[in-house]
Amino acid sequence: MALTTTTRGEHVPTRTGGGWIRHWDPEDPSFWRRTGKRTAWKNLVLSVLAEHLGFNVWTLMSVVVVGLDEAGYAFTVGQKFWLLILPNLVGALLRVPYTFAVPRFGGRGWTTTSVTLLLIPCGMLALAVVNENTPYWFFVLTAATMGVGGGNFSSSMTNISFFFPESRKGLALGINAAGGNIGVAVSQLLVPFVIHLGTGVQLSYAALMWMPFIIVVAACSWTFMNSLSTARPDNGSYREAVTSRHTPTLSLLYVGTFGSFIGFSFAFPSLTELAFPEFSSLVGITFLGALIGALTRPLGGWVSDRFDGARITLWNFCALALGTLGIMGGVGTNSFALFFGSFVLVFALTGIGNGSTYRMIPPVFTAEALARAAHTGEPTDSALARAKRRSGAVIGVVGAVGALGGVLINLVFKFSLQATGGLLPALVFVLLFFGCCATVTWRYYVRPGSSPASPSPDTLERQTAV
């Protein structure tokens, strides 16, 4: 389909071969209303399905670990936690190259590839659990390959960020991320049921159940998704993203929100079983934590679209600290109800924080680009286009660093359990870390004179006018 005219308000997408779209202008109300909205939401739906499967596989080991003893594998607590840590670590490290893959292969091509790669860890897990003599090193390798499920988060978020206008980006990114995050809850809900079908425990079913869905979603991604030529951050965008003074602080905040979400998601079933063995029969309901955390993520983006995202992030970290105190109280008083309820509250808050922290990124770089344009005389449309490319690059970097928080959370719990046999030292560390994140948020984005982290009406008006 070719461009009908170059007058703003009359653009329609210009399609080239291989599902690529050359012209894309979601900030143009007419373009968005006529064709942009439909195409953007189509790609978002398929992105959600692909990312959902990624999280299904990424966190699969968190469920399998709980059933290893019953299946006849006598691994120590330390060995089991390494099986939880490795998918976190590999998934976090893969997020940077996965972000670079979108500009190289396009959203359609890379989404199809990233989904197809999920067949590898599923196949390895199915092989690992069919023999009680499978060596520990093969489980380690299997856990590491599950990291491919975590890598596609950054590529998906970067890709979808280009499809939507600034005024709707918070909600779109929230929905996209929530669709993936819900994959944690779905695995923790369905896998325990599936592996107990028939006689005994059948851990191979945990892997085999996802393979048909992976094949179907990969085929649909290749058939129906699009790639945007404008979603190609140049090398300068990534260089600016890495060297920007905002990237380390935003990454730290995302470590505090998403790192906590994914780290707690991996650990919650095991921690519940270890801290309250008398309630081990209730480990199956731990999926509620990840589910609620996933569902609240769009809420964080939606609220940040309308209010000050930085202030929401600040108050969210304060509430996370209070929730952590509740978990500590549950452990200290041996109250399962307080422990579980506080953990679910923390999950809900991490979801809100995930949405609000990610929503802070585009306005920060948009405001910075407009200020530079006013000083240098650079055309506003050029400055905003550069800010959008830079934001896309930063989203990938922040997503990668944030995922490392899951590694940190599980390492802290591992060392705490091995050194003291309890959870309290680890929870004290988490409490102090949330306090640090709240302080950083106030210092750089909330206090008077700090950098803006929410779009002002004037900024939105200028973006729409370009």
Task: Please report which confidence band the pLDDT of residue 14 belongs to, taking 50, 70 and 90 as the band edges.
Answer: low
Measured distance CA(244)–CA(260) in Å, rounded:
24
Q: Is the pLDDT of residue 210 over 50?
A: yes
Please provide the average confidence, as pLDDT, over all residues in the chain.
85
| Per-residue pLDDT tens digits for 127-138 | 999 888 899 999
Q: Is the pLDDT of residue 183 over 70?
A: yes
Can you give the pLDDT at residue 16? 57
The larger pLDDT score, comparing residue 347 to residue 358, is at 347
Q: What percent of the chain has pLDDT over 90?
A: 45
In this structure, what token pair is assigned to residue 99?
Answer: 């972000």
Q: What's the burial of 102, exposed, middle or buried (CB within 10 Å: 0-12/13-18/19+)?
A: buried
Can you give the pLDDT at residue 393? 73
Classify residue 286 as left (phi > 0), alpha (psi -120 to 50) or beta.
alpha
| Per-residue pLDDT tens digits for 106-157 | 899 999 999 999 999 999 999 999 888 899 999 999 999 999 998 888 788 8
**174-192 average pLDDT score:** 87
The larger pLDDT score, comparing residue 230 to residue 69, is at 69
Can you give the pLDDT at residue 236? 66
Can you give the pLDDT at residue 119? 97
Q: Is the pLDDT of residue 239 over 80?
A: no
Q: How many residues does the chain have?
A: 466
Can you give the pLDDT at residue 383? 72
Task: Please report which confidence band the pLDDT of residue 400 belongs to, taking 50, 70 and 90 as the band edges.
Answer: confident
Q: Which of 157-161, 203-207, 224-228, 333-337 is least confident?
A: 157-161
Can you give the pLDDT at residue 237? 66
The larger pLDDT score, comparing residue 235 to residue 402, is at 402
3-state secondary structure the chain: CCCCCCCCCCCCCCECHHHEECCCCCCCHHHHHHHHHHHHHHHHHHHHHHHHHHHHHHCHHHHHHHHHHHHCCCCCHHHHHHHHHHHHHHHHHHHHHHHHHHHHHHHHHHHHHHHHCCHHHHHHHHHHCCCCCCCHHHHHHHHHHCCHHHHHHHHHHHHHHCCCCHHHHHHHHHHHHHHHHHHHHHHHHHHHHHCCCCCCCCCHHHHHCCHHHHHHHHHHHHHHCCEECCCCCCHHHHHHHHHCCHHHHHHHHHHHHHHHHHHHHHHHHHHHHHHCHHHHHHHHHHHHHHHHHHHCHHHHHHHHHHCCHHHHHHHHHHHHHHHHHHHHHHHHHCCHHHHHHHHHHHHHHHHHHHHHHHHHHHHHHHHHHHHHHHHHCCCHHHHHHHHHHHHHHHHHHHHHHHHHHHHHHHHHHHHHHHHHCCCHHHHHHHHHHHHHHHHHHHHHHHCCCCCCCCCCHHHHHHHHHC
Q: Is the pLDDT of residue 464 over 80?
A: no
**310-325 average pLDDT score:** 95
- Beta-carbon contacts of residue 349 (< 8 Å; ≥ 6 apart): 296, 316, 319, 320, 323
The larger pLDDT score, comparing residue 266 to residue 373, is at 266
Q: Is the pLDDT of residue 17 over 80?
A: no
Which contacts qualify for 307-310: CB closer than 8 Å, 24 or more apart? Answer: 307/454, 308/446, 308/453, 308/454, 309/170, 309/356, 309/357, 309/359, 309/360, 309/363, 309/453, 309/454, 310/356, 310/360, 310/441, 310/445, 310/446, 310/450, 310/453, 310/454
Q: Are 424 and 332 in contact (CB under 8 A)?
A: yes
Can you give the pLDDT at residue 4? 41
Give the best-scoring range by mean pLDDT among 5-14, 58-67, 400-409, 430-439.
430-439
Q: Are 24 and 13 in contact (CB under 8 A)?
A: yes
**328-347 average pLDDT score:** 95
Q: Which amino acid is present at 417? A: L
Q: Is the pLDDT of residue 172 over 70?
A: yes
Measured distance CA(336)–CA(273) in Å, rounded:
11
| Per-residue pLDDT tens digits for 349-363 | 999 998 899 888 878
Distance of CA 362 to the CA centre of its chain: 17
Measured distance CA(135)–CA(101) in Å, rounded:
34
Measured distance CA(39)–CA(225) in Å, rounded:
9
- Beta-carbon contacts of residue 461 (< 8 Å; ≥ 6 apart): none
Q: Which amino acid is present at 307? A: F
Measured distance CA(343)–CA(328) in Å, rounded:
10
Measured distance CA(183)–CA(431) in Å, rounded:
27
**253-282 average pLDDT score:** 90
| Per-residue pLDDT tens digits for 429-454 | 999 999 999 999 999 888 887 666 65
Task: Please report which confidence band the pLDDT of residue 284 belongs to, taking 50, 70 and 90 as the band edges.
Answer: confident
Task: Please report which confidence band the pLDDT of residue 280 belongs to, taking 50, 70 and 90 as the band edges.
Answer: confident
Q: Is the pLDDT of residue 159 over 70?
A: yes
Can you give the pLDDT at residue 461? 42
Nearest to 233 by CA among 93, 379, 395, 112: 395
Beta-bridge partners for 379: none
Q: What percent of the chain has pLDDT over 70?
A: 90
Task: Please report which confidence band the pLDDT of residue 307 belongs to, taking 50, 70 and 90 as the band edges.
Answer: confident
Q: Is the pLDDT of residue 5 over 50?
A: no
| Alpha-carbon distances, residue 41 vs 26, 220, 225, 246 (angstroms) | 12, 15, 10, 30
Domains of the chain, first to last: 24-465 (1.20.1250.20)
Q: Which amino acid is present at 65? A: V
